[in-house]
Chain A
Amino acid sequence: NAGVTQTPKFQVLKTGQSMTLQCAQDMNHNSMYWYRQDPGMGLRLIYYSASEGTTDKGEVPNGYNVSRLNKREFSLRLESAAPSQTSVYFCASIRTGGIVSPLHFGNGTRLTVT
């Protein structure tokens, strides 16, 4: 059982380049999330998808777009990367019923923008 799989694990971009971070879960979860983790700031929610076909902004959505491709997959796109987007990105999912269910996290994508 793979759980939540994120690709790539590492990425280096130049300022202005674009890329898509991929996330897939095989647990039949309804809700999926994208967080960024920065030292001293904990996890901040970028976007989430409560169910297939819906997406909503989180705390720090600027500079990002998302696509809930199907129930399994939720991608995060950086259209024009900036150094401020250097971070570790985590995808997570929840079975159903809101946050009382445990969030299941992927192992993260470490992104550096130069």
Chain B
Amino acid sequence: AQSVTQLDSQVPVFEEAPVELRCNYSSSVSVYLFWYVQYPNQGLQLLLKYLSGSTLVKGINGFEAEFNKSQTSFHLRKPSVHISDTAEYFCAVSDDQGAQKLVFGQGTRLTINP
């Protein structure tokens, strides 16, 4: 069975500082990984996804994530954050591209301080 662990429930950073949000997964077979973002009082929207190929994936708003199979991780990074990046970020996993279900992590709340 798949599972996702987001290691930090909250991450406070200063504006223009770099940030890394950590995600580890467990899956017995092939894995497909996603990061979703939830802005205040909104639903989630897709930030980026890893299906195959290059392990470095670029997403919207300057975010990127690196798939590391040996460490079973898919950490999300941004070199310089902005106030508008304040949101909750969710890592998610599936073991089947055609699957109808994703397993979500617990979420990490990113707070940007001026």
Contact = CB atoms under 8 A, between A and B. Distances in A.
A48 B99 CA distance: 12
Interface string B83-114: 00000001000101111111011110000000
Given A90-B44, A105-B43, A48 B102 contact: no
Contacts of B49: 100
B101 A100 contact: no
Given A42-B90, A106-B43, A99 B106 contact: no
Nearest to A44: B104
Interface residues of B, number: 27
B43 A98 contact: no
B9 A40 contact: yes
Contacts of B42: 105, 107-108
Interface residues of A, number: 26
A106 B43 CA distance: 5
B32 A99 contact: yes
Contact of B102 (A40, A50, A97, A99): A99
A45 interface: yes
Given A40-B9, A100-B32, A100-B51, A92 B104 contact: no
A102 B45 contact: yes
A43 interface: yes
Interface of B: 4, 6, 9, 32, 34, 36, 41-46, 49, 51, 90, 94, 96-102, 104-107
